[in-house]
Structure 1
Amino acid sequence: MERLLTVEEVADFLGVPVNTLYQWRHKGTGPLAFRVGRFLRHDAAEVRQWLTDHAAVSHGLG
């Protein structure tokens, strides 16, 4: 089982500021995140799928 990623880890992976992830979450456009207690956590597979889907849309493939 893969461990869940922190917001900081996902931001680093995507190369965006942490605040951008929070803005995307607020708008409902970012990768799916789960609340675990008071923390947000991301499934690595979901982040990779979101990135693949997002790249396809931004290149006119989706």
Structure 2
Amino acid sequence: MKLDPRVEEKLKDKEPRTEKIYRPIPDGDFEIISLGEDPTKGIKIGNGLPDLVKRQLEACLKENAEL
């Protein structure tokens, strides 16, 4: 016996999602910045960034690499 349609809505929200989440693919030229001692681990940043921005971004990423 169904008494409250809101109960069914709550149950639907708890079901695992079957949707795939697609990650964006970097476009254009980029360089890989090593964030630690392991040279195989790095992050891609765009080559088109101004030098000051690139240096600031690299410093920020290295400072927060543990997060």
Whether the TM-score (by the shorter chain) exceeds 0.5 is no
Which structure has the larger Rg over C-alpha atoms?
Answer: 2
TM-score by length of 2: 0.26
Q: Which has the higher contact order (CA 8 A, sep 6+)?
A: 1
**Normalized against structure 1, the TM-score is what?**
0.28
